[in-house]
């Protein structure tokens, strides 16, 4: 099982800085959003907690979110990885959105995979490969239970790869998924041994008090042993 969580609202959202590699913190609202998501997820495992690894981007807003999840779920370790960062926006990182516009390089079309929007930034292709190559290097997707706390574009890349799509397939099909702040998505292998999406962009924790209903999914059983 793979649980994907986007960090909560961050200061770059409210102070109008660029996102990407700008190293912003969670706002008070963002912390409340993540606490609600973590508390709701904990209700799914109130009787028995599976062995989860928590992997997160090393940017502050994602790491802060991961620490909250770890505390709520009783997981001792958070693993930070630079490959789980959002798309690198190069020289625009740390700039106000109004300042970044002066160095923005618009693509010729909306279908470009090898264009750099900002000097020193990544292309869509480079971003995709960095994300999925890093994931396959550090985790066994089909055999481990993972909670991955990261960013919109990074989570999108993970979902695309889970569905067997390369970035060229995504581009050709004009396909995307929306991933909002603090949202939770769940991937897993179903009883037919298919790679499935069980939840996508779920924000019900901001309204409801019950769990996410993870035990109702028709997941293929994965026996993951905790290594203390």
Helix, strand or coil, per DSSP, at residue 149:
strand
Query: What pLDDT, in 10s, does the model give residues 152-184?
Result: 999 999 999 999 999 999 999 999 999 999 999
Helix (H) or strand (E) holding 157: helix 152-162
- Residue 151: name the closest of 16, 14, 24, 1 by CA: 24
Cβ atoms of 121 and 88 within 8 Å: the answer is: yes
**Helix 152-162 vs helix 124-138: angle between axes, to the nearest 10 degrees?**
70
pLDDT tens for the chain, residues 1 to 228: 999 999 999 999 999 999 999 999 999 999 999 999 999 999 988 777 778 999 999 999 999 999 999 999 999 999 999 999 999 999 999 999 999 999 999 999 999 999 999 999 999 999 999 999 999 999 998 889 999 999 999 999 999 999 999 999 999 999 999 999 999 999 999 999 999 999 999 999 998 666 666 666 556 655 554 544
How far, in Å, CA of 55 to CA of 4, rounded? 10
Instruction: Report whether 61 belongs to an annotated binding site.
Output: yes
The predicted pLDDT at position 226 comes to: 57
How far, in Å, CA of 54 to CA of 1, rounded? 12
Known catalytic residues are 7, 86
What are the residues facing 186 on neighbouring strands?
A: 3, 199
Domains contained in the chain, CATH given: 2-216 (3.40.50.1240)
């Amino acid at each position: 099982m793979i649980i994907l969580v986007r960090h909560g609202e961050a200061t770059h959202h409210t102070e109008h800085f660029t996102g990407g590699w700008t190293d912003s913190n969670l706002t008070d609202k963002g912390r409340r959003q993540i606490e609600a998501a973590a508390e709701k997820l904990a209700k799914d495992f109130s009787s028995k907690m599976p062995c989860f690894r928590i992997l997160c981007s090393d940017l502050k807003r994602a790491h802060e979110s991961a620490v909250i999840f770890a505390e709520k779920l009783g997981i001792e370790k958070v693993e930070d990885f630079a490959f789980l960062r959002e798309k690198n926006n190069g020289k625009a990182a740390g700039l106000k959105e109004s300042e970044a516009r002066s160095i923005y390089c618009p693509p010729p079309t909306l279908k470009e995979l090898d264009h750099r929007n900002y000097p020193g930034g990544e292309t869509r292709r480079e971003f995709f490969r960095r994300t999925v190559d890093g994931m396959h290097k550090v985790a066994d997707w089909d055999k481990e239970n993972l909670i991955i706390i990261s960013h919109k574009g990074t989570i999108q890349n993970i979902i695309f790869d889970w569905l067997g799509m390369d970035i060229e397939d995504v581009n050709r099909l004009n396909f995307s998924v929306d991933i909002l702040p603090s949202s939770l998505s769940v991937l897993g292998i179903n009883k037919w041994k298919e790679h499935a999406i069980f939840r996508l962009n779920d924000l019900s924790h901001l309204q409801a008090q019950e769990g996410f209903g993870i035990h109702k999914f028709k997941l293929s059983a994965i026996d993951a042993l905790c290594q203390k």
